[in-house]
Structure 1
Amino acid sequence: MRLLRQLELGFRDTDILSVVAGVGDPGAAVSPESFQAVYSKHQDVDLEEKARELLRTNGACRIAMEIRVEWNARLKTCAGRADYSCKLISLNPRLCDHGATEIDRTLRHEIAHLLAHFRAGHRRILPHGIEWQQACRDLGVADEERCHNLPFPVCERVRRYLYKCPNCQCEFPRVRRARRAVACLECCRAHNGGEFDARFRLRLVSIR
């Protein structure tokens, strides 16, 4: 069965972790002991300030004061996650094994999601579409990829929910039931310029 792509809608300029690592090398790894000592409550006020500055610089002052950045140990395979409705960025603590440079890149990747949605207003956009790509360029990560290639452990989970595109009939197995509108990316690209189109909204056909 082919696994095809889906379209889903749902700082000061200093070393980010210098306070933790105690060194000026932005590529230095951070020890788990140091990380736990500083981030025992998970919230990261330094990264929040950095995020606010980046958002304000790019004209998103309204959401800049609402932004929160946290370290979330429940993240396993993804490097970070952005929730526009809560103005929340969650980062994987495993990023600390890869140095402050990787943390900075991931933070900007997630800020780009919030910035793209802020600029789009109520218009529906692709998660990694042209709006996100432009936001990445504005945030200084023009060559940012959709997915990271960090060696995080992979957790194999059963894909119980099978969705199908009503147009091309391609199947999309998912671990969780879709809570928001999900459409076939290839059909949206082929027939609607890459924008979400309800004609290609995936339909749940079976639950295993």
Structure 2
Amino acid sequence: MLKHWLMHYWQKLGLAHAELPALALTQDRQEYMRWTGKRLNTMALGCYCYIPAPSARARTCAPTTGAQQHRHLIFIEPAMQAKSIEVTVAHELIHLSDRVQGTPRRHHHHGYDSIAADEAAITGYAVEDLRALLHEESATRERARRERRPIRYIYQCPGCGKQYPRTRRYSQAVSCSSCDKVYNPRYCLYLMSKPDVVSPSEAR
């Protein structure tokens, strides 16, 4: 199924077949992190990374080809419903297409930017449906994460009142980033009195 959607949207986006040998796709988070040498956000449902062709001195953990060319690396979360896997493949291939065309884009707001509009156009699904799907999958992943690592501590800013849920205590004094981008003792977070375990719904 994954290969089917990969080739389906590869063709719909008009991507050159010459780029296929440079593509490596995985559904294993640890493998993707070994390839890129970067930490993958635990909430990520998919990710695209471009690795330039290595220079004579550079080394990379990414899978290589005989030509030692650039690489397109894609991760797709396996624990999703079939429709989500389909649109995530399309989404990451849009990033790949942008890179090939020399116009890479960053997300301004997932589900509400130009990339989301392109995703809707290429898949044929309404933008509102894609947003709902993203919210559903993110909520499912958040619940699973909280089952493994429940929120046990709630910190609060004395200035604006913003709360910071934590699975662990801070090891040192931390101030509110909303009130001041650098450390400011005036906005030093304090630990609130909360139950030993806080449910995900309480932490939102």
Structure-2-length-normalised TM-score = 0.43
The structure with more helix, counted as a fraction of residues: 2
Structure scoring higher RCO (CA < 8 A, sep ≥ 6) equals: 1
Q: Which protein has the larger Cα radius of gyration, Structure 1 or Structure 2?
A: 2
